[in-house]
Structures are given as C-alpha cells and as structure tokens.
Amino acid sequence: MRLPHVWRPLQGETGMMTAEKTHHWRGELKINEPMSRHTSWRAGGRARRFFKPADLDDLCDFLQEMDPQEPLLWVGLGSNLLVRDGGFPGTVIHTLGVLTEMEWLDDATLRAGAGVTCAKVARVTAKQGLIGAEFLAGIPGSLGGALAMNAGAFGGETWDHVAAVETIDRMGRLHNRLPEEFRVAYRTVEGVADEWFVAARLSLQHGDADTAQSKIRELLAKRSATQPTNQYSCGSVFRNPPGDHAARLIDSAGLKGKILGGAQVSEKHANYIINTGNASAADIETLVNQVQGIVEQLYDVRLDTEVRVVGEHAAR
C-alpha cells in the first residue's frame, strides 16, 4: 500500500495547492475553496481541501494516498447540502462533471456514474422507451446524492429501481453491492460505513418513449409552477411527516415569507428556504431551526430535515 501523501502547499493567491511530484493522482486539488461556489444555496464557508478527480482511477489513487483519518465530504451538485460559515475541516471530493459515464447493460438496465445528473438519467431512459424514472427529472441533484438519501419526487423513489450499486471505500477499493446490503427507507439509506456511491445499475420497465417524455414535460411544468426553481435553494428542506406534508404545516403556522437575514421561507412553496442574495449559512440554519421549533410548538410534530448540514460555525 502506498504511504499517505504529505501535503505541502505553496503560497499564492490562487488557492491552489501544489504538491510534491511523488503523488500518483492527476486531478485538481485546491485549498480553502469557497463552498458557496458548489452548493445550490450559494452560501457557506470554505473547504480546507477540495479535490476534483480526473476519473474513477484517479479517485482511487487519491484516496489510497490520503490520511485514513481525514474527514471526507462528497459533493455533486450540492443541492442537498449546507456548509456552515466556519467551513469544512477536511477534504471535499467533488464529482460534478466526473463519474458521468452511462452504459446500457441490456435493453432495460442502465449503468450510470454517480456524477450523472438525475435529470439526465430521466431524459435518457425516457428516450429509450423505459418508464419509472421520469420523477428523477424533478430532483435537482446527481445520482450519487439521490442514492445516498433515496431521493424522490412526484411519488417515485430512487431505490425502487436500483438493481446494484458500486461503491468506493476510504482506501480507494471498489465494491459491488446489492440492494439487500442496505437499509433503505423514506429519504434514508444506511449501508457499509465509509463507503460512497460511484455508480448504480438501474432496472426499468419497458413502455412508450413519447409517453415517458411527455410525462417528464408535465412534471417539470408542475415543478416550475409550484416550486421556486429560479431561486437559490436546496430543494425540499424537511421530510414529510407520516400522513401529512411539511409544506402544509409550515404554511398553516403562518411561516410562508418569514425572513431571517438573507434567508426566507419561500412564498411559493413553504418547504423551501431560499437565499435572497446575501444569506449566510447561519441565516439559513437558524431559520430552519426556527421553523422546526414553531411547527413543533403549534402541532406537536417534529419536522426532520432532508438537507445535510456539515462543518463548523464561524468564530465569533
């Protein structure tokens, strides 16, 4: 096994980290990278290290040379993520634009990399005349993120169509795993610790291409009409409680339009919190907590978040 690589950053204004020539990876490594550039909320602090691999082999090499105790955060489109203003004290692995391969294993099974957007999976499968994945068009994230949280929309859920997944561990080793190796529930997926999704095999049903593509257009039109798709948000903030909808409870509590700093509960859809332009991560997190508290006080219902909050609070 290769020895862990010792990072030795050079001084400069670009934020790039230049390392010794002994490393084996080929990707781009930055230090103190603003995560506001890589999350759909456009808010949050900096990542101490930020690595964009060239490809899967490169990612394996990078992980093999990393300190096994290094905190890791995997980010695709960053649509379900809030990085606190104090930043992330570890390494971000950025897969957007990487792990984007797609391949038909048979006429109803698609292998797609974790970096492929959910919207593209929906389009490609519909064009193939397959049905079941149209709902993915309404999820503003990548397949890796959808696998990690069993993302869903319009009545569909990601893991309903997973035949197998491929994962990578902290040592850069690849694994093939079956759905029964995971505990999958509503917006929750639990599997082997310290493994991350790099690809999935999706099994779908044969149908009519025109019908599937028409359904995608209908879902996107509905999403545009009911959700603030043209504003900075993370998508839905809260999971729906059993037998109810988070948006209904928040609206009933009179919280639509509530503002805290640069963050606001959307007036279009109460389960969205938007960055009006200058929100800090603290603004957003505080507003999330306030909404939770008020709804629980009024209705005795605790709204659990879908969004993942990571990192450190800014120093006071």
Task: Work out the pLDDT band at 9, boundaries 50, 70, 90.
Answer: very low
The per-residue pLDDT for 7 is 34
Catalytic, 252? Answer no
The per-residue pLDDT for 198 is 97
CA 239 to CA 250: how far, in whole Å?
12
Taking alpha carbons only, the member of 95, 80, 93, 91 closest to residue 153 is 80
The domain total for the chain is: 2
pLDDT at 4 over 50: no
Specify if 159 maps to a domain.
Answer: yes
Share of the chain above pLDDT 90, in %: 88
Residue 18: Cβ within 10 Å count: 14
The per-residue pLDDT for 24 is 85
Among all chains, which residue has been given the structure tokens 């696998």? 147
Catalytic, 187? Answer yes
236 with 205, same domain: the answer is no
Give the tens place of pLDDT for each residue, 234-257: 999 999 999 999 999 999 999 999
227: DSSP letter: S
Pairs from 249-256 (Cβ < 8 Å, separation ≥ 24): 249/295, 249/299, 249/301, 249/303, 250/291, 250/295, 250/303, 252/298, 252/299, 253/291, 253/294, 253/295, 253/298, 253/299, 255/291, 255/294, 255/295
Specify if 1 maps to a domain.
Answer: no
pLDDT at 8 over 90: no
The per-residue pLDDT for 246 is 97
Here the tokens at position 233 are: 């948000």
CATH number at residue 218: 3.30.465.10
Specify if 44 maps to a domain.
Answer: no
Which of 175, 206, 225 terminates a domain? The answer is 225
Specify if 22 maps to a domain.
Answer: no
Task: Work out the pLDDT band at 315, boundaries 50, 70, 90.
Answer: confident
Specify if 31 maps to a domain.
Answer: no
Which of 191, 225, 259 terminates a domain? The answer is 225
243: DSSP letter: T
117 with 187, same domain: the answer is yes
Task: Work out the pLDDT band at 15, boundaries 50, 70, 90.
Answer: very low
Catalytic, 111? Answer no
218 with 266, same domain: the answer is no
Catalytic residue among 42, 46, 123, 187: 187
The per-residue pLDDT for 22 is 67
CA 292 to CA 238: how far, in whole Å?
9
282 with 189, same domain: the answer is no
174 with 107, same domain: the answer is yes
Task: Work out the pLDDT band at 178, boundaries 50, 70, 90.
Answer: very high
152 with 115, same domain: the answer is yes
- 10 vs 163, which has greater pLDDT? 163
Give the tens place of pLDDT for each residue, 226-238: 999 999 999 999 9
Give the tens place of pLDDT for each residue, 17-74: 334 456 889 999 999 999 999 999 999 999 999 999 999 999 999 999 999 899 999 9
pTM of this prediction? 0.88
Give the tens place of pLDDT for each residue, 98-130: 999 999 999 999 999 999 999 999 999 999 999
Catalytic residue among 134, 166, 285, 306: 306
151 with 118, same domain: the answer is yes
pLDDT at 153 over 90: no
Catalytic residue among 36, 40, 236, 280: 236
Specify if 155 maps to a domain.
Answer: yes
Enclosing domain of residue 176: 102-225
164 with 134, same domain: the answer is yes
Which of 225, 256, 272 terminates a domain? The answer is 225
259 with 276, same domain: the answer is yes
DSSP string of 23-76, one letter each residue: ----SEEEEEEEGGGSSTT----EEEEEEE-SSHHHHHHHHHTS-TTS-EEEES
